[in-house]
Copies of this chain bind each other. A is one copy, B any other.
Amino acid sequence: MTTNYRIILNSIKKHVLLNEEEEACFCSFFSQRKVKYKETLLKEGEIADATFFVNEGCLRSYNIDENGFEHILQFAPSGWWIADLYSVISKRPGTLNIDALENSIVLVMLRSDQERLFIELPKIERYFRIITENSLVSHRQRLIDNMSLSAPERYEVFCKRYPELIHTLPQKQIAAYIGVTPEFFSKMKSKMK
């Protein structure tokens, strides 16, 4: 299986301009990994040493509360990054699980390599500074939405944020992202029609 860097290079291009040599250097830091449907890439309690870029398929990160309920923090379809950043930065056991919602292929970047790249290729630090800012803005907005919006309004926000996932994700997964039970979600959607 040859590694496809087209999608990651397109993501980079939106924010910084690399020449051919820099692109080759950047790509050389990734390894590629297949993740099967339902396979776990990272388990709560493990120390995460890498960040994942989704080339194909779809992953999710989630937390399980003490009552066993899953709370989904993020879906990552093709072109998205996903990680337990807390664990990656702190080198302490993480609080998230990451698994695949379908057969997927990810590019893996070790934190140690990422930190080397920040020094060797400052444009890459710029790229990560920018996408981290964007991610912070979207987390902040979701926090506000969770505090101030009703469940149907949160569903509308989900549909805008992940338009490609509305019809492909199981309803149960969307419900766990919105923060309602699958039963409530099903009733809510019938009323919204």
Contacts and interface: CB of A to CB of B under 8 A. Distances in A.
Interface of A: 63, 65-66, 69, 71, 73, 85-86, 89-90, 95, 118, 122, 125-126, 128-129, 132-137, 139-144, 146-149, 179
A86 B141 CA distance: 9
A69 B148 CA distance: 8
A137 B71 contact: no
A122 B134 CA distance: 20
Nearest to A72: B147
> For the complex formed by this chain, how many copies does it contain in all?
2
A128 B129 contact: yes
B128 A63 contact: no
A22 to B, nearest CB: 15
A63 B146 contact: no
Given A125-B122, A125-B125, A144 B71 contact: yes
Contact of A85 (B66, B89, B136, B142): B136
A14 to B, nearest CB: 13
Contact of A148 (B63, B89, B141): B63
Contact of A125 (B89, B129, B135, B148): B129
Contacts of A147: 63, 65, 71, 146, 179
27 contacts: A63-B144, A65-B147, A65-B148, A71-B144, A73-B140, A73-B143, A73-B144, A85-B136, A85-B137, A86-B140, A89-B133, A89-B134, A89-B137, A90-B137, A95-B144, A118-B126, A122-B122, A125-B126, A125-B129, A128-B129, A129-B129, A129-B132, A132-B133, A135-B136, A136-B139, A139-B140, A142-B143
